[in-house]
Amino acid sequence: MKKIYFILIILSNASLFSQSSFNSESFRVTLGDLETNSFEKDSTATALVIYEEGNSYVDPSDYDLRTEVKHKIKILKKEGFNKATISIHLYNNKNTSERVKNIIATTYNKEGNEVIQTKLEKENIFTEVYDENHTLAKFTLPNIKEGSVITYSYTLFSHFMFNYKGWDFQDDIPKLYSEYRTSIPGNWLYNIKRVGYRPLDISTSDLKKNCLDGPRDSSADCSINRYAMKDIPAFIEEDNMTAKSNYLARVEYELKTFQGFDGVKNDYTKTWESVDDELRTDPNIGKQLGKSIKPEDFFDTAILNEKDLLKKAKAMYTFVQENYTWNDKYSLFKDASIKDLIKDRSGNVSSINMLLHNLLEESGIEVSPILLSTRNNGFATKLFPVISEFNYLIVQAKINDKTYLLDATDKYLSFGDIPFQCLNGYGRILDFKNGSNWVDIEPEKLSSTQYKVELNIGAEANMTGNVYAKNTGYHALNSRKAYYPNKNSYINNIHDENPNLEISNHEVISEGQTSSDFIETYDVEYEDNVVGDNIYLNPFIIKFFNENPFKLQERTYPIDFGYKDSYYFAFKLNFSNNYTLQEKPKDVNLVLPNKKGQIILSSNMIANSLVLTFKVDFKEAVYEPEYYPYLKEFMNKIVDIQTNSLILIKKK
C-alpha cells in the first residue's frame, strides 16, 4: 500500500509539469522526468542532470561546516550507467576527518502504469582509501535501466574551514539546473574564484545579521550567496585546448583570513612577497639556484674565452642539452638537485634548467628562472599565490638587449624555443632581490609549413617531379622529432599518408636535430587518373589537413593553438603542346572576422605551365569561443579545397 500511495502522489503532482518534459525546478521526480527519454538539445547525451543543488553553511551549535547535496539524474543510454556510481571525496589529516551522513539514494523506473522505486541499502555503501589525505565513500544505485531517474542526497560534515566546498556547475553530461547556496560567517574571509566562460544565470548576495553566536554575547554576520546556472551543455573535449580544468564552469574557495571572536586574526593566503621569501630558502628552488658552479669544470677554453655572449650561451645550452637527460619527471618542489644531476647525468626538469641557469649566470649572462604550469596542468591562479599549481621551470636569458626563453630538457629544441607543453599563457619570473612578477609566455618565432611541388606530364601521361618542404617553429620541431630517431619510419610515413606517391632520393638539407628549421627534398612519381584523353589531377598531392578537427555544434571555451602559424603550398604543373588545360580550381579569398586569419587560393597559366598557390594564415595563437563557428567553416573550406580541387588536362 505504501508503494501505491507513493505512486499516486507522483501522479497527482505530475500535473504541475508537462507530461513530456523534465522537471528542472525541484528535486521531486515527476512523470515528465520518467517518460521523457531523449534530450533534444544534445542527442548524444548519455545522461542528463535534471536538477542539483548544494547548500553550505556553518552549524551554529558545533561550528562545523556542513554541505547538503542533492542530485537528480536521468539515464538516457547504457553508456550513461556510470553516472549511477557515486564517489564522495572526504579529506582527513592526522587529527580528524570529514564525514558523510544521511546518504539517501533511490532509482525510479516506470513499468507499465506503475512507478517502481528501488532504494539503496546501507550495506551497499563502501569506503576506501584514496590517498594519505583522502578517503572515498562509494555507492552504486540499484536497478539501473535506460530511462531510469536516480536521486541521491547526503550531508558532508567538516571541521576544515580552509576547505570550504566549491561547486561544479559543468560536467561531461548536460545539466538543466544547478544551484549552489553558501552562508559564510564574517569571521572567515575567502578568496572566491569563478572559473569557466559561462555566465551565471542567478548570482545574489545578502547579509544575515547575527547568524552565528560566539562567547560572551559575541556574534557574527553571514554573507548569504546564491549561484545558479541553467541549460548547461556538456563539456566535450576537442583538439586545440589546454587543460579541461581551465574551462569547466565552477566556483572555488580559498581561506584568506580567519578572525576569532577574541579578535585574534590568522592569515592563511600568502602574498607573493612571502612566497618569494620562502622560495629563496627552499632547498629545491632558491638554494639550488644559489649554488656556485664553476664553468671551467664543464667547458674548454674556447667556450670560456668566447667574447660573443650569444655564441657562449648557445654553446652552454647545447652542452647541457646533449649531456644531461630528462627523466620525464617534473617534480618542481621535490628532488631537484644539481649535485645529483651532475653525478647521475639524469634529472628532473628543475635540476636540468637550474644547472643551465647557474652556468649562464656564472658566465656573466643575465638570467632569471620562470615558474609555469604546463598546458595539461591548468592555469596558475593569478588572484593569489598557489605555488602548488606550478609544475615546471624554464630560464629567461637577456643577451644583447634581446630576451630568450630556454629549456634544455628536449634534445630536439632549438636555442630560444621551449616545449609546446609550456605554451600556457604566462609564468612567474623569480627575482629574489626585487620580487617576482607575471610574464607572458609566447613563442617568438612564427611556425610555418611550406611545400613547393613541381610535376611534369610525360608523353605517356606519366607524372614525375620534385617536392621541396620547409618547416619552421613547432612544425619543424615535430618533424625533427619524427625524423631523427628513425629515418626509415619517417619516410615510410610519407608513403602511408600519400598512397598515390612513389618517393625516392629523400634528403634532409637543414642543419642537424636542433636546427631552427627542417628542410627536406625528394623526387616523386604520381599515379594519375587518366580517362581516355583526359587527365584528372588534384594538385594537393600533399595535404595540410585531412579533416576538420572542429566538430562540436557549440564550443564554450577558447581555441588554443599555442602559437600563430601559416601554411603555404606552391604547385607547378608543366605539360607540352600535346596537352591543353580544360579546367582549373576557382580562386578563393576568405578572411576571418577582424582579419584574424585568411585563405588564399589562386592559379594562373604561364606558357605551358599551370602555377597554383594556396596560403593559409592563423594570425592568432588563441581564439575566443565566439570565433568557433567561423573557424569551423574556415577549416571546412581548407579541407574542401585540398580534397575537391580539380585540374583537367586534355590530350590534343
Structure confidence at residue 176 as a pLDDT band (50, 70, 90): very high
* Residue 527 scores a pLDDT above 90: no
Structure confidence at residue 529 as a pLDDT band (50, 70, 90): confident
Joined together, the cell numbers standing for residue 419 give 616545449
| 229-to-46, 77, 150, 216, 224 alpha-carbon distances in Å | 20, 24, 21, 41, 17
For the CA atoms of 15, 16, 21, 27, the dihedral, rounded to the nearest 10 degrees, stands at -120
Asked if residues 31 and 10 have their Cβ atoms less than 8 Å apart, the reply is: yes
Q: What is residue 11's predicted lDDT score, i.e. its pLDDT?
A: 40
Asked if residues 410 and 478 have their Cβ atoms less than 8 Å apart, the reply is: no
pLDDT digit string, tens, across residues 272-312: 999 999 999 998 899 999 888 899 999 999 999 999 999 99
pLDDT digit string, tens, across residues 6-51: 443 444 343 333 334 899 999 999 999 999 999 999 999 999 999 9
For the CA atoms of 392, 393, 394, 397, the dihedral, rounded to the nearest 10 degrees, stands at 160
CA 45 – CA 49 distance, rounded (Å):
10
Residue with cell 597559366: 605
Q: CB under 8 Å, gap of 24 or more: what pairs does 93-96 form? A: 93/133, 96/159
Residues whose CB is less than 8 angstroms from the CB of residue 109 and which lie 6 or more positions away in sequence, other chains included: 34, 115, 116, 118, 143, 145, 147, 148, 149
Asked if residues 486 and 511 have their Cβ atoms less than 8 Å apart, the reply is: no
Q: What is residue 94's predicted lDDT score, i.e. its pLDDT?
A: 86
Q: What is residue 13's predicted lDDT score, i.e. its pLDDT?
A: 43
Beta-strand relationship, 565-574 and 447-457: parallel
Asked if residues 552 and 241 have their Cβ atoms less than 8 Å apart, the reply is: no
| 309-to-46, 292, 303 alpha-carbon distances in Å | 60, 20, 10
Structural domains present in the chain = 2-267 (2.60.40.3140), 272-441 (3.10.620.30), 447-651 (2.60.120.1130)
Find, among 490, 491, 375, the residue nearest to 441 by Cα.
Answer: 375
* Residue 239 scores a pLDDT above 90: yes
| 93-to-87, 252, 267, 339 alpha-carbon distances in Å | 19, 21, 20, 34
Quick one: average pLDDT of 632-647? 95
pLDDT digit string, tens, across residues 310-359: 999 999 999 999 999 999 998 788 888 899 999 999 999 999 999 999 99
| 381-to-193, 372, 623, 647 alpha-carbon distances in Å | 9, 11, 21, 54
* Residue 264 scores a pLDDT above 90: no
Structure confidence at residue 3 as a pLDDT band (50, 70, 90): very low
* Residue 166 scores a pLDDT above 90: yes
Quick one: average pLDDT of 404-422? 97
Asked if residues 298 and 314 have their Cβ atoms less than 8 Å apart, the reply is: no
Phi then psi for residue 349, to 5 deg, are: -55, -50
pLDDT digit string, tens, across residues 119-130: 999 999 999 999
Phi then psi for residue 405, to 5 deg, are: -100, 130
User: What percent of the chain lies above the pLDDT cut of 90?
Assistant: 78
Residue with cell 643575465: 366
CA 472 – CA 516 distance, rounded (Å):
6
Q: What is residue 528's predicted lDDT score, i.e. its pLDDT?
A: 65
Quick one: average pLDDT of 502-520? 94
Q: What is residue 320's predicted lDDT score, i.e. its pLDDT?
A: 97
Find, among 397, 398, 399, the residue nearest to 407 by Cα.
Answer: 397
66: β partners:
57, 157
CA 246 – CA 558 distance, rounded (Å):
10
Find, among 69, 436, 94, 81, the residue nearest to 271 by Cα.
Answer: 436
Three-class secondary structure assignment of 304-346: HCCCCHHHHHHHHHHHHHHHCEECCCCCCCCCCCHHHHHHHCE
Quick one: average pLDDT of 490-519? 91
What integer best gives the mean pLDDT of the chain? Answer: 92
Cα of 295 vs its chain's centroid, Å: 39
Quick one: average pLDDT of 54-76? 94
Quick one: average pLDDT of 553-558? 90
* Residue 263 scores a pLDDT above 90: no
Structure confidence at residue 60 as a pLDDT band (50, 70, 90): confident
Find, among 415, 640, 460, 429, the residue nearest to 538 by Cα.
Answer: 640
